Every structure is written in structure tokens, then in C-alpha cells.
Structure 1
Amino acid sequence: MPTLPREQPEPPPAEPHRAGAMAKSFGVDTRRYDQARPGYPDALVARIVSGSPGLDVLDVGCGTGIAARQFQSAGCAVLGVEPDARMAGFARARGLRVEVATFEAWQPVGRTFDAVIAAQSWHWVDPDAGAAKAARVLRPGGRLAVFGHVYEPPAEVADPFAAAFRRAAPDSPLNGRPARRPPGLYQAAYAKVAEKIRETEQFDEPEQWRFVWEQSYTRDQWLDLLPTTGGLTQLRPGQVARILDEVGAAIDSLGGRFTMNYTTLATSAVRTGTTA
């Protein structure tokens, strides 16, 4: 559920779900993507599993299977739905069952699940169709959980990235955004997800969850992650190299590492009544 002149591996909350070119760019280097992207708080996984009626999970936009493997480790049987065949292939090689399709076009053929999750992928799903389809494939009492990270690198890292991006890609439509975006913008995006869930009239009142944590990155670890973000996956290799050089120099000036403060936000709701 970012990318831009603020080093987030997903589009900002205002990015429309129709931004297909960026959505398809994440599978350029699946191995790097899988190794560099952070996982999700164990407390989040445990809360979803314990709040669901069973262990059958559908992972919407599963990517390389980062979240799916965490749910498998928690005892769940996970089916992934992923539109990018490259990412689906990587996830299958790691032991995940995956069907290649967008969630909107995917055919459940009568299958239902105890939980439907979307880990930093719901912004690629049509907001009206997504919640309604989740309701159709959830068993009574099943849980929909949409979640993702808010990326807030320290200004000493975010500002040099934004400046380097502007110089390397002056014509990018992603230029002109601030280096750091207020977390409230992301909270507002998850509030909109909750509103779409309410409009289906097939869920209990949605809940908003928040998990705060941190992770230390070395220079090499951060520079490994950056090329997997949407703002860079669409650039030429030379442009990416220029940006990484400047960001690397900034991290060197901090002693070669920094601490990333993460907030993982989630909107979750329980399916009411009986499935259609």
C-alpha cells in the first residue's frame, strides 16, 4: 500500500489507482525488491490472525510474497493474487500459491476466505470495486485488513534525495513534491478506505490501527532499497546512479547509517451477515 521525492516505496495517498505504469514497474528486479523491502510488524499479523474466524487468507497484490510469508509463518494457508507475472513467479518459487490477475478481474470460482489482506497494494485496486469484492469472498465474520507503511526518513536523508531526484529527472511528473509529507495525509488515505468499506454496508464499523517501530539502515542497505521504489523504477540507469551517489554521500556524512522511523497504518473491518 513507496517512491517519490520522499523515498517512499509506494505512491502517496493522492496517487490514483489507475497509475498503471508505476504499478507495473516494481517487478523489474524481483530479487532486490524482496530482499530490500521491509516486512510488517508481528503484532499486526497476530492481530489479523487472531481476529479472523480461520486461517484461510487471500493476499491482494501479494508481490513477491513478503507479507504472505509472514502469515504462512503464523500458520495461515495463503493464496496470493498478483497482476505482475514476474512477481508472481518469484513468490511461487518461494512456496506461495499465486494466481496472476488484478483483484478486480480475478475469479474466485466459489472460494471464500477468513481474511483478505492488502499489504501496500490497495492503492492499485479500484476503491469502489475492491471493498465490494472483498465482501463477496469473505466468510461471515471474515476480516478485511488494508495496511502499509508511512516512510519518514530523517531530513538529512530525505532532503538530499529530493534534490538529487529533481536534478536527475527534471521532467518527472513526481518532481515538485516536498521531501517529507505529513503522516496525516496517509491517515486521511486510510480514512477514505474505511469510507469505501462502509459504503458496501457489508462490514462492521472499520477500525484504524497504528504500529510504530524503527529500523536501522546502513548506507548499502538503503541504497539497495531505493531502486525498488516507484520513483526510481521508471528512470534510466544513469539517472538512478546519480541519485544513489548523492544519497550515499549524505548517509556517509551521518556516519554511514541512520535510523528509519516507521509507522504502519491499517484499516480493518469484519464481514457481517452471509456471503452473497
Structure 2
Amino acid sequence: MPTLPPEQPLPAGNEPHRARRMAESFGSDAERYDRARPRYPDALVRRIVAAAPGPDILDVGCGTGIAARQLRAMGCRVLGVEPDARMADVARRFGVEVEVARIEDWEPAGRTFDAVTAGQAWHWIDPVAGAARAAQALRPGGLLTAFWNAFRLPPEVAEAFATSYRRVVPDSPFNPQEMAKTTFDAYAAILAKSADGIREAGGFGEPEQWRFDWERSYTRDAWLDQLPTYGILTGLAPDRLAEVLRAAGSAVDALGGSFTMSYATVTVAATRTGAS
């Protein structure tokens, strides 16, 4: 039987789900987030639909409804759960039904689903409490899947960002060199932690990992539109953000005004076992 852990004091170490200010900062410009953030590959959405025993989906941390709309386009019925009312409002404008709550506090109220999904959100959720809540909401055989768009910037663009970020925010705990390398490696740790949370919560079979590689071309304007939607930048003062964007824009200009980004949509998935 899945178990919800008791409230615990803030631990040492890197636990994104404890960083509530950053986790709830994306709604500061929800329209930009929806416009600029990349969608998820159709191959991922098709695999979720094929693996789920039915069409009823609970989309956790649904944001502006990016994944929810893709799932609906493939015939699913989707209920979103989103802690930020500003993000939820945008999702509702696109016809997504959303309940405003953190999944750790949300109550299924007797409702059950064929799949629980979380796009670009599970690292903001307590990995054990979230998995336990998902298990409570899933029918036997139902699918839990959390997924992220990891990317690899061209070295010139990554280095320009890292250099300007260090200059503008010298006391930031974030290491911009990580973005200058790749986010693929960073997500390996997130996937492992998510899988450990699923195991600890109980009620699921052994988690597995999926990966879908793809590319997206960016113009200078498209990249500068997306860059402020990342958590390390959402809280920057406008003048500091403008300085980072100027450096990033100059790097893209030096590449001829556009570049191609390598993406890997990385996923942890597990199937609900038992009858309750």
C-alpha cells in the first residue's frame, strides 16, 4: 500500500521540490511560458496512450496545459492539477480542466485514472509523496510517467550564457557551467531520484526509463523568448535579465542568427500494481 511520508524539516542538499519560490515562479509570465516552451515529441505521447489501459489522464503540474493538450489531441480525457493559479488560468483558456493544488495535498475524492503524467514538473514534487498520491489515483495497471525535455546548447551559446550569468548574479548557488555543458547528465540524477521515490512509495512495478531524441531550430528571437522561462532567470530583475539576454542574443548573431538545439525527452515510467 503506498504511504505518504510525514512532514520533515528542510534537509541539506539539492532537493528541488523544497525550492517553492522557484517552483512557483513560472506563472510570473505564464503566456510567455506557454508560447515559448517546446512541446513534447509525438512518439512520447503515443507511447503513453498505448501503455495506459484507458483514456483518463491526471496531468500533474500541468502548467499551461502543454502536455494536456497533446494528450487530448490523441483522444484522452485530461484533468490537470497545478499549484499556480496563473498557469492554470492559461490552461483553462485552452479548454483544459484544472484543479489548483499541489499534488502532495490534492485529494482524488474517489476518482481514478488510467495514467498520471507530469511534464517538466516531477522534480518540483516530493518524489515519495507524489508517487504515493499517484498510486492512490491510478487504477490497477495504470501508468505513472514523468518526463522532461533535456537539451544540449551549442558551445558558443552555452558559454555566452554562463559568462553573463556569472557576471550578473555572482552570488547565485546555480553553477552556469552546468548549462554550458549539457542538461542530459543533470537529468540522469533526476530520473534516478524519481525512480527511487516510486520504489519507496510502493504500489508500482519496477520503474523503467524511456528516451526520445529530436531537434528544434531556433531563431535569435525564439531563443530569447524562451530563455526567461527557466527557473534560474524567472526571478531576475529586468535590468539583470536584459544583460543576460543581450549576451545570449550576440552569441546567436555570431552563428548567423539561428541554431539547432539537440533535445532528448527523458522519462521515468512505472505501472500500478495490485488492487488498491
Matches within 5 A, 1:170-181: 170-175=170-175, 177-178=177-178, 179-181=180-182
Q: What does residue 205 of structure 1 align with?
A: 206
Matches within 5 A, 1:111-260: 111-175=111-175, 177-178=177-178, 179-181=180-182, 183-260=184-261
Secondary structure of the equivalent of 1:40? coil
CA distance in 2, matches of 1:53, 1:182: 32
CA distance in 2, matches of 1:127, 1:224: 31
Count of aligned positions: 263
CA distance in 1, matches of 2:112, 2:257: 48
Contact 1:214 1:262 in 2 (8 A): yes
CA distance in 1, matches of 2:128, 2:189: 17
Contact 1:79 1:96 in 2 (8 A): yes
Q: Displacement, 1:186?
A: 1.5
Contact 1:165 1:175 in 2 (8 A): no
Secondary structure of the equivalent of 2:111? coil
Q: Displacement, 1:24?
A: 1.4
Matches within 5 A, 1:29-48: 29-48=29-48
What value does the CA root-mean-square deviation take over the aligned residues?
Answer: 1.4
Q: Could you tell me the percent identity over the aligned residues? A: 60
Q: What does residue 54 of structure 2 align with?
A: 54
- TM-score (structure 1 length as normaliser): 0.92
Q: Displacement, 1:202?
A: 1.3
Structure 2 unpaired stretches of 5+: 1-12
Contact 2:132 2:201 in 1 (8 A): yes
- TM-score (structure 2 length as normaliser): 0.92
Structure 1 unpaired stretches of 5+: 1-12
Q: What does residue 18 of structure 1 align with?
A: 18
CA distance in 2, matches of 1:231, 1:201: 33
Q: What does residue 262 of structure 1 align with?
A: 263
Change (3 A) 1:176 1:146: closer
Q: Deviations over 1:92-147 (max 9, x none)?
A: 11100000000011111100100000101001111111111111110011000011
Secondary structure of the equivalent of 1:173? coil
Q: What does residue 94 of structure 2 align with?
A: 94
Q: What does residue 5 of structure 1 align with?
A: none
Q: What does residue 106 of structure 2 align with?
A: 106
CA distance in 2, matches of 1:185, 1:250: 24
Matched letter for residue 164 of structure 1 = S
CA distance in 1, matches of 2:183, 2:47: 26
Q: Displacement, 1:180?
A: 1.7
Change (3 A) 1:183 1:259: same
Q: Deviations over 1:15-35 (max 9, x none)?
A: 431101111110011111001
Contact 1:210 1:266 in 2 (8 A): yes
Q: Displacement, 1:268?
A: 0.5
Contact 2:150 2:183 in 1 (8 A): no
CA distance in 2, matches of 1:157, 1:176: 12
Change (3 A) 1:99 1:145: same
Q: Displacement, 1:201?
A: 3.2
CA distance in 2, matches of 1:70, 1:97: 14
Contact 2:132 2:202 in 1 (8 A): no
CA distance in 1, matches of 2:130, 2:48: 19
Q: What does residue 63 of structure 1 align with?
A: 63
Q: Deviations over 1:177-224 (max 9, x none)?
A: 432246233223212212221223311221110110000000000000
User: Which structure 1 residue ranges, 4+ long, deviate > 3 Å from structure 2?
Assistant: 175-178
